Structure 1
């Protein structure tokens, strides 16, 4: 039987990820994409430290994904081996994407600053390349959503089967995962208005992760898997 201490460690790690992820996903775009392309490149130069903070935040998110998956694997140690294996694989892929994607931000910042070794490119070319790498980062995020979603599916299965956490949270995690997968597919196939519309629909569904993390932190795990069956 897992302990509530194990659950709270996993929950706090999950909450820390939820707090750090919006730095690059929400805050940084809000201060960079404020006008014409040339303005965006100028914002890259003006907000260098914010961009670097976004890089650190993304790397931290990648590391947290590894520790979250390890802690959840331990939490569900007595449960389905296949589910735990899928959880490990699914959690490792978002961690890799986080780590790889920071290269696009570093490249964008480097081209925006125009150091001496890049003088072979004229100013317009450097600006275009900076914007290209920013766009690549955004497309990588959309692609990564499919992995953010798929790793939640085995987690949802483990939650439902273990009885350590109410079953309705497992169901919400499953819907949460499907919402990420849908956003990724629509964002890649039909970018623009269709993706924005779906995002507004999916956002409330994606609070399943927050509810799960808060439950682990506040409640922990059931002492008896069936002791709260009435609310599952």
Structure 2
């Protein structure tokens, strides 16, 4: 179990950094909202970076499979049902998000048709909205496991609950009220709860590791 936690302390920051690069930085560089021509020109002018972004997105989702499997391994003794639920939600989210990378590749084959490029981008965005639902759902059983296992302070478990609410609210707003920026901004703030968990996991570590160090 201790070795698994140590592996997770390495994988978590790698996952977070690559994920932020793929899901936040790359779209900010290439996508110009409601401007297919500018978006297409951005891709043409820096195609290598765009392709690196696709690879980063794929790696992010692959880690989103590996990390929950490792978490299941350490938490299944705490509560097998919640651990299985956590794993199931993550394994549903990963292929949905991975499917979005197909549209990224399709963009590269239609650069002479800006409207089609933007259409592919929108399809990818919709796939990520669907994945966001499960990115939220998996944090609820993970939060319960964090609290029940006593590996983390209780507050960390509630931060995971807040993150789950944030992802679900974000998805709901994008589906039902796509123009309600204020609600979307609130949901984005709540997702920081997951970041707090990751930072605590990596910097402070689960109590089982700290107890070993003290001994």
Distance 1:24 1:219 in 2: 27
CA contact (8 A) 1:7 1:217 kept: no
2:199 is matched with 214
Q: How does 1:131-146 map to 2 (within 5 A)?
A: 131-146=118-133
Q: CA deviation at 1:127?
A: 2.1
Q: Deviation at 1:58?
A: 0.9
Cα distance in 2 for partners of 1:199, 1:90 equals 22
Post-superposition shift, 1:203?
2.5
Flag the 1:26–1:218 CA change in 2: closer, same or farther, 3 A: closer
**Structure-to-structure mapping, 1:65-104, within 5 angstroms:** 65-104=64-103
SS in 1 for 2:110: helix
| Structure 1 unaligned regions, length at least 5 | 115-125, 228-232
1:152 and 2:152 aligned? no
Deviation, structure 1 residue 59: 0.6
Query: Does structure 1 residue 199 correspond to structure 2 residue 198?
Result: no
1:176 to 139, 163, 168: 163
Which residue of structure 1 lines up, in the alignment, with residue 39 of structure 2? 40
Relative contact order, higher structure (CA 8 A, sep 6+): 1
Per the normalisation by structure 2, the TM-score is: 0.90
**CA distance in 1 between partners of 2:30 and 2:204 (Å):** 40
**Hey, what does 1:117 align to over in structure 2?**
none
Q: Is the 8 A contact 1:148 1:177 kept in 2?
A: yes
Distance 1:167 1:154 in 2: 14
1:111-126 aligned within 5 A: 111-112=110-111, 114=112, 126=113
* Distance in 2, Cα, partners of 1:128 & 1:223: 54
Give the Å deviation of 1:14.
2.0
Runs of 4+ in structure 1 deviating by more than 6 angstroms, as ranges, are: none
RMSD (Å) for aligned C-alpha atoms? 1.9
Say which one has the larger Rg.
1
Assess if the C-alpha contact under 8 Å between 2:94 and 2:131 holds in 1: no
| Contact 1:86/1:154 (<8 A) preserved | yes
Are the counterparts in 2 of residues 69 and 87 from structure 1 also a CA contact under 8 Å?
Answer: yes
Pairwise CA distance, 1:143: 2.1
Q: TM-score, normalised by structure 1?
A: 0.83
Post-superposition shift, 1:202?
2.2
Once the 2 structures are TM-superposed, how far is the Cα of residue 215 of structure 1 from its aligned partner? 2.0
Instruction: State the partner residue of 1:25.
Output: 23
Write the distance in 2 (CA, Å) between the matches of 1:54 and 1:76: 32
